[in-house]
Amino acid sequence: MERSRILIVGGGFAGLECARRLERKLSPSEAEISLVTPFSYQLYLPLLPHVAAGVLTPQSVAVSLRRSLRRTHIVPGGAIGVDPSSKVCVVRKITDEVVAQKYDILVLAPGSVTRTFDIPGLTDYARGMKTLAEAAYVRDHVIAQLDLASATLDQRERESRLQFVVVGGGYAGTETAACLQRLTTAAALRYPRLDAKQIKWHLIDIAPKLMPELGDPLGEAALEVLRARGIEVSLGVSVAEVGAESVKFTDGRVIPCRTLIWTAGVAASPLIGTLDAETVRGRLAVTAEMRVPQFEGVFALGDAAAVPDLAKGDGAVCPPTAQHSARQGRVVADNVIASLRNQPLEPYYHKDLGLVVDLGGKDAVSKPLGVELRGVPAQLVARGYHLMAMRTNVAKFRVGTNWLLNATAGDDFVRTGFLARQPARLRDFEYTDAYLTKDQVKAHAQSLLAKG
Ligand SMILES: Cc1cc2nc3c(=O)[nH]c(=O)nc-3n(C[C@H](O)[C@H](O)[C@H](O)COP(=O)(O)OP(=O)(O)OC[C@H]3O[C@@H](n4cnc5c(N)ncnc54)[C@H](O)[C@@H]3O)c2cc1C
């Protein structure tokens, strides 16, 4: 009997869980499993703000795929188009060679990219918090601002280097602002020529509340922590214009500033746009079993797909969280196996477990299973949750020891300079320009198949 070819696109929360379960539950004689991934690690995104703040090293949040997977064939590259009519995924390898990957069953888990809006200067000057390189870049960039501010006698330059703006009052933006503010406060002690009072962090969001999903009391508690630390939180405000040395807010204020960190939401991977399929706010529309109804043998999940949230009902779709993505990965694996064995598929059902928000040090707010926690108990829950959710014991150990080391010895505020002269726009880090158009996909798929 010929083995089925299962192709997974994306080795993140959803893709990795799916591959692991397939390896466990399918015998090698039943199917060959391949994974297209540009990196050889699963990025533990919830701890990226800790990488930017230097609390964790970049390696500690990069969970090795080869340690987690035993027999999955890893294709080092990115999918740049899918042609379901010929069952081909067009892949650009990390060498830039373009190849066709044939599949019998396709699992699309390419995640999301930073969502941007049509704001003058945004795509040129905004930095994201979505990839490991971005987190490492932001850290270096922030430390560089302190170095340069300390070295200049020009008051205007100093002022613009010491103001930082984070846009997005969801958990990603709030954690990023909170963790980086702790970085600059601690670092200022090593800069005798800098007045720490001149360092100013702004957190802004167009919504009237921070992290509304936490509920009013915890949202207020987080706001109090941030304001007590001197972070200026402006709600109901967005960015009107960004320049190299200033940011203009929609309330008319112009902030001298050379650092804008943009975390105002995510959009499904541009790979979804290469398919001629129905979408819900850019995410691929799927059934509760995570099948793409238009195409035979195609499943989609995670941030890239609009998976119905049966626990909430009322036509809701699951929010783009790691909590959902990892669980969807396991259910998709079961459904892939069921479809190979001609068995009925299971719908995805998961009741949200709540949210943990780490504001750095002893500050946190969390709502596990509806219980509202703040301060040290919330922090213990947050860190315990992350350790449990990480895939390998080595990764858990690395993160645990990094936290301990940082809590006891602090940070050295080293600027590595690795990425200093790289283009650093969102599209440079997130490769959003790499994808084919719908028409190009078909042409590429046909010509690659003809070449064999
Ligand atoms: C700063 C931050 C903090 C967060 N905190 C939390 C939190 O506390 N709790 C929570 O539940 N969620 C959190 N999230 C959200 C969570 O990380 C995402 O919802 C989750 O990662 C989505 O899983 P996924 O598998 O769909 O995508 P990802 O985990 O992003 O994985 C997608 C994978 O696909 C790869 N890929 C992308 N494009 C292609 C392509 N074309 N071809 C092949 N591979 C591709 C990527 O490199 C990546 O490895 C946070 C997100 C951020 C950015």
* Residue 191: count of CB within 10 angstroms of its CB: 17
The residues facing 64 across adjacent strands are 41
Distance 430 CA to ligand 1 centre (A): 12
Report the pLDDT value the prediction gives residue 328, as an integer from 0 to 100: 98
Chain Cα centroid distance, residue 435: 19
With H, G, I as helix, E, B as strand and everything else as coil, classify residue 376.
Answer: helix
Q: Tell me: pLDDT of 444 over 80.
A: yes
Mean pLDDT score, 11-16: 98
Residue 207, domain extent: 116-264
Residue 104 lies in a domain: yes
Report the pLDDT value the prediction gives residue 420, as an integer from 0 to 100: 82
Residue 398 lies in a domain: no
Regarding whether 107 and 46 lie in a shared domain, the answer is yes
Region for residue 236 given its phi and psi (left: phi exceeds 0; alpha: psi -120 to 50; beta: otherwise): left
Regarding whether 442 and 318 lie in a shared domain, the answer is yes
Regarding whether 209 and 139 lie in a shared domain, the answer is yes
Q: Tell me: pLDDT of 1 over 70.
A: no
Distance 13 CA to ligand 1 centre (A): 6
Tokens linked to 134: 């971005």
Pairing label, strands 266-268, 112-114: antiparallel
Of 272, 325, 430, the residue with max ligand 1 atoms within 8 A of its CB, to mutate for a pocket test, comes to: 325
Residue 424 lies in a domain: no
Distance 110 CA to ligand 1 centre (A): 8
Of 321, 331, 358, the residue with max ligand 1 atoms within 8 A of its CB, to mutate for a pocket test, comes to: 321
CATH number for the domain including 317?
Answer: 3.50.50.60
Regarding whether 303 and 445 lie in a shared domain, the answer is yes
Burial of 346 (C-beta count, 10 Å sphere; 0-12/13-18/19+): middle
Distance 130 CA to ligand 1 centre (A): 8
Regarding whether 104 and 137 lie in a shared domain, the answer is no
Distance 112 CA to ligand 1 centre (A): 6
Q: Tell me: pLDDT of 52 over 70.
A: yes
Q: Is the CB of 14 under 6 A from ligand 1?
A: yes
Mean pLDDT score, 277-299: 97
**What is the pLDDT of the chain when averaged over all its residues?**
96
Regarding whether 154 and 227 lie in a shared domain, the answer is yes
Query: Of 201, 234, 264, which residue constitutes the final position of a domain?
Result: 264
CATH number for the domain including 171?
Answer: 3.50.50.100
Q: Point out the least confidently predicted range of 83-97, 219-233, 342-356, 414-428.
A: 414-428
Q: Is the CB of 431 under 6 A from ligand 1?
A: no
Regarding whether 223 and 122 lie in a shared domain, the answer is yes
Report the pLDDT value the prediction gives residue 172, as an integer from 0 to 100: 95
Give the atom of ligand 1 at the shortest distance from the alpha carbon of 266: 53
